[in-house]
Amino acid sequence: MHESTQAWTEWLKQNGSRLMLYARQQTRCEADAEDVLQMALVKTWKTHDRAPDDKVVSLAFTNIRRCAIDLARSNQRRSIREDFAVREMGESVSWFELPDDDESRMLQVAMAKVPEKFREVLTLKIWGELTFQQIGDTLDISANTAASRYRYGLETLRKYLKQDSEVPNR
């Protein structure tokens, strides 16, 4: 292992947990904290690519704070764009939230059981409103493969929906 790489590995072992704690405090969820920490570490390494010294910890904390602010601003701008688009379409339900009813929950549970390669095509076709050619281009598969995955996905989804609807109430 290169000497600089080894030094950064040791530095991260010593400081990683406290940097992650700070990232968690700066964000709203664990996934965002992990993303912010990764972005901050890359930024820190790029601006300080030699072996880490005493100033690097402070720089890493600064970068975490800045990355968290950037992420929050980005999320806020995205939310504003989505809200505007929903209002423009006259929709009363957010695009990314299922209504809180039994049928929607049943659909969500059934979709989670569908194998990923079929679920991905179903999502792109039904909710993304893409053609099979567009789906093929997106997933790097042929349009025919996309169409057959769509058919198999629908069959699988119907099977799970039927099973779930036959379960007696307890």
Distance between CA atoms of 43 and 151, rounded to whole angstroms?
Answer: 45
Confidence band for 170, pLDDT divided at 50, 70 and 90: very low
Judged on CB neighbours under 10 Å (0-12, 13-18, 19+), 135 is buried
Distance between CA atoms of 17 and 37, rounded to whole angstroms?
Answer: 10
Q: What is the pLDDT of residues 22-80, one digit of tens each?
A: 999 999 889 999 999 999 999 998 887 677 887 888 899 999 999 999 999 998 898 88
What average pLDDT score do residues 93-101 get?
Answer: 55
CATH top class, domain 102-166: mainly alpha
Please, are residues 20 and 37 in contact by the beta-carbon 8 Å criterion? Answer: yes
Higher-scoring residue by pLDDT: 4, 77: 77
How is the chain split into domains, by residue range? 3-89, 102-166
Q: What is the pLDDT of residue 110?
A: 86
Collapsed DSSP state (helix, strand, coil) of residue 66: helix
Q: What is the pLDDT of residue 96?
A: 52
pTM: 0.52
Distance between CA atoms of 58 and 29, rounded to whole angstroms?
Answer: 23
Taking CA atoms, 39 is separated from 25, 56, 104, in Å, by: 16, 15, 36
pLDDT-above-70 percentage for the chain = 86
